[in-house]
Structure 1
Amino acid sequence: MKVTDGIDNKKYLWQLTIEEFKDLHKEITKERNYEYGIKGLAKILGVSRSKAYNIKASGILGDAIIQNGKVIVIDVEKALQLFSESNR
């Protein structure tokens, strides 16, 4: 459930309670966690580097992985979500 679901869209910012404002701020500024490389992917999934490479090559985590040349960036949250969905 999003924080904004409980807040009236026509409410002015200055009319928010401190709690509503804090919740809204947390949702907006939510930090993304990233790992880098095959070693980072292996750490996220708790597998060996060779298994992590095979999982990456299979395309299961396609939306969570960005690769530019030799640089691999993995969105941790999305990778875990996609990996758990693939095991169902």
Structure 2
Amino acid sequence: MEVKELLSKPVWQMTGEEFIFLNRHALQEKEMGVAQPVADKDKKYVYGIGGIARLFGCSIPTANRIKKSGKIDRAVTQIGRKIIVDADMALELAGHKSGGRR
């Protein structure tokens, strides 16, 4: 079995054998000390339009307009309906002081 092929396959389409193979492979890499990507713990994220509204201290419709304006596009990651926003970058891109709120 090719690990790269299995990693791109949705879990719900895997057989039990394929899933266990990937799990064992991951454990072996961990034991050998292969570097795994680590999330940046210093970054703060907000989620969804509600998160944008809280970040900027505005209403939901205004948060929608901010997102649609494109000003904070570099800070926004959207996968389907899930929206993840790098809070500090969004504030910086929108012209607010870094770390400050409206």
The residue aligned with 1:42 is 53
Which consecutive residues of structure 2, in runs of 5 or more, have no partner in the other structure? 1-39, 97-102
Return the alpha-carbon distance in structure 2 between the equivalents of residues 55 and 62 of structure 1.
Answer: 10
The residue aligned with 1:60 is 71
Larger radius of gyration: 2
Does residue 71 in structure 1 map to residue 82 in structure 2? yes
Give the match's secondary structure for 1:84.
coil
Return the alpha-carbon distance in structure 1 between the equivalents of residues 87 and 43 of structure 2.
Answer: 8
After the TM superposition, which segments of 4 or more aligned residues of structure 1 sit over 4 Å from their partners? Answer: none
Task: Provide the TM-score with structure 2 as the length reference.
Answer: 0.53
Does residue 82 in structure 1 map to residue 74 in structure 2? no
CA deviations 1:17-62 (Å, max 9, x no partner) are xxxxxxxxxxxx7610000000000000011000000110010101
Return the alpha-carbon distance in structure 1 between the equivalents of residues 77 and 41 of structure 2.
Answer: 20
Counting aligned pairs with the same residue, the percent is 39
* Bigger RCO of structures 1 and 2 (CA < 8 A, at least 6 apart): 1
Which consecutive residues of structure 1, in runs of 5 or more, have no partner in the other structure? 1-28
Task: Provide the TM-score with structure 1 as the length reference.
Answer: 0.61
